[in-house]
């Protein structure tokens, strides 16, 4: 395992080309796709007593669409990407909090009537 080689590969992966895609032009309109890209890495090495050895490495990349820049007639407009999964998950979280709050209110009212 060569840590410096891993670092060089990580530098190559973290380029502007990973964030901005190739522009697409149709009918005088240019679209430039944009993504959110996150990189992370790790490493390790070691030797312990009594002939023990160790090593390790790791690297990860995550990308998600962020939106597109639309260039038309000299004007640039940002169009964000809609992440339906995030919207649904957020709605579910709000619903759970609402139901737990209503349950606590109803329990408290039930105790007061006794």
| pLDDT tens-digit readout, 63-96 | 788 899 999 998 999 999 888 888 999 999 999 9
Which DSSP string corresponds to 74-114?
TEEEEEEPP-HHHHHHHHHHHHHHHHHHHHHHHHHHHHHH-
Taking CB atoms within 8 Å and a gap of at least 24, the contacts of 70-79 are 70/29, 70/30, 70/31, 71/29, 71/30, 71/31, 71/32, 72/28, 72/29, 72/30, 73/28
In which residue ranges of the chain is pLDDT below 50?
none
The pTM assigned to this predicted structure is: 0.53
């Amino acid at each position: 395992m060569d840590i410096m080689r891993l670092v060089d590969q990580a530098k190559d992966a973290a380029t502007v080309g990973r964030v901005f895609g190739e522009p697409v032009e149709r009918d005088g309109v240019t679209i430039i796709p944009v993504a959110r890209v996150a990189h992370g890495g790790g490493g390790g090495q070691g030797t312990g007593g009594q002939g023990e050895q160790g090593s390790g490495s790791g690297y990860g990349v995550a990308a998600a669409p962020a939106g597109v820049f639309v260039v038309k007639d000299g004007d640039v407009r940002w169009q964000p990407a809609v992440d339906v999964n995030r919207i649904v998950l957020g709605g579910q979280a709000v619903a759970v909090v609402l139901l737990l709050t209503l349950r606590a209110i109803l329990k408290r009212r039930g105790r007061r009537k006794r």
